[in-house]
Each structure stands twice: as C-alpha cells, then as structure tokens.
Amino acid sequence: MIEAVVFDLDGVLLDTEEVWDEARRQIAAERGAQWPEDGQRAMMGMSSPEWSRYMHDVVGLAEPPEAISAEVVARLDALYRERLPLIDGAIEAVRRIGSRRPLAIASSSNRPLIDLFLELTETGDLFRATVSSEEVARGKPAPDVYLEAARRLGAAATTCAAIEDSENGIRSADAAGMHVVAIPNRVFPPSDEALALADVVLESLDELTVERLAPADDELDA
C-alpha cells in the first residue's frame, strides 16, 4: 500500500527546467564562457553543489561554486516573485493527493527556492517534509534525496510513491525503492530506458489520483 507521496518540484509542480537553463546560460554568456551542448541535461537532477561545481569546472566560470549557486538562486527568486511558473493543475493535484496521503517534496532546487514555492502557493501546511538535494550527500540520480524524504516522513521508502518528470529523477526514485509515477518532461524528456523503470506513466497532473498511484489503495480506503 502507498502510505505517502513524494513530489519532485521542478518539472512536476513548476515549469522551470527552461528557466534554470536560461539563468545558467545567461550567467555563462555574461562571462564569455562557452556553453556545453549537453549542459542542461548534464545538470538536471544535480544538487546545487554539484551543478555549481560543473559550471565552474566544465563551463569555465571563474567564481567559486558557492557564488555561482547564489547568483542563479537570486535570479530565480526574482522571477518566482514576479510570476511563479506553476504547471497547470499543480496545486489541485497536491491538495487532491494530500487529502488522502502524507506529502513530501524531494527536489534538486536550493532550499530557499523550495521555501519560496511553499510561501507563494500557501501550501506549506500540506507537506510534512521537504528536502533539497543540497542537504544530502549526492544529488539525483543517486537515491539520497528520496531516502531522506521517506525518513523525514517516517515511512519506508518502499511504501512511498514518487512523482517525477526527468531521467535522473526517475532513476533516483527507482534506486530508492519507491513506486515511481512518471509525468515525462516535454522539453527534456527522459529516455525510454528510464521510463521503463516507472510503475505508472501519466500524461499530466490532471490524471494524478490515489487510484492511479496504486489501484488497490482505493479499495483499502473504501
């Protein structure tokens, strides 16, 4: 039985993968750095220490990784406050699932951006736990952030469902032993190999219900 549900943030609740890409590319361009062809895909799922180190080591920015991370976060903070890029049906899905299961967030976003999402959407009371991958040893596709979310929820990872959109996110949740629900990112779609790891594949958040997570759960709830 699915006892708890863990949402990814970027690409699942927020349409931000392109926003992150644009912010990083702008910073690189302002410093005259050459952007790698696979830069965005390489960084998807990385924790902030990991992707800021990538921008320092691979993209070639001179600033220390901590300064690079802080600048990207500041730019996204301003964009979120101007217009939060919610995915259609995001808050409705959170409330729908949260009315029947404990919720958590397991995100590669920095802690300040997770907290800003909760503040701007007034959903802080719906999530029992939130984890940024900067708070664990390794970012996605390692399972650390999902295992920590389960720990903070007080649930076994194998009894949790993870809602994911990306290649590294799906692999992370699967490695944690969670029941994986994939809603593939349309701009940066996961590979067929990654999608094959998902237990359920949906087209959109509108399809996300407890019944779709695990049909037997609805019988137990009746």
Q: List per-residue pLDDT tens for the chain, 222 residues long.
A: 899 999 999 999 999 878 888 889 999 999 999 898 888 778 877 888 899 999 999 999 999 999 999 999 999 999 999 999 999 999 999 999 999 999 999 999 999 999 999 999 999 999 999 999 999 999 999 999 999 999 999 999 999 999 999 999 999 999 999 999 999 998 889 999 999 999 999 999 999 999 998 755 544 454
Pairing of strands 127-132, 103-107: parallel
Cross-strand bridge partners of residue 162: 6, 180
Q: How does DSSP classify residue 34?
A: P
Asked if the domains 4-15+85-221 and 17-82 are classified in one and the same CATH topology, the answer is no
Cα(189)–Cα(147) distance, integer angstroms: 24
* Domain regions of the chain by residue span: 4-15+85-221, 17-82
Model pTM?
0.88
* Cα torsion 37, 42, 43, 44: sign: positive
What local confidence, expressed as pLDDT, does residue 222 receive?
41
What local confidence, expressed as pLDDT, does residue 163 receive?
98
Cα(132)–Cα(184) distance, integer angstroms: 21
- CATH fold of the domain at 17-82: DNA polymerase; domain 1 (1.10.150)
What local confidence, expressed as pLDDT, does residue 220 receive?
44
What architecture is the 4-15+85-221 domain classified under in CATH?
3-Layer(aba) Sandwich (3.40)
Phi/psi at 215 (nearest 5 deg)? -55, -35
What local confidence, expressed as pLDDT, does residue 217 receive?
54
What local confidence, expressed as pLDDT, does residue 216 receive?
56
E strands of 117-218, at which residues? 127-132, 160-164, 179-182, 200-201
CB 35 within 8 A of CB 29: yes
Cross-strand bridge partners of residue 131: 106
- Length of the chain counted residue by residue: 222
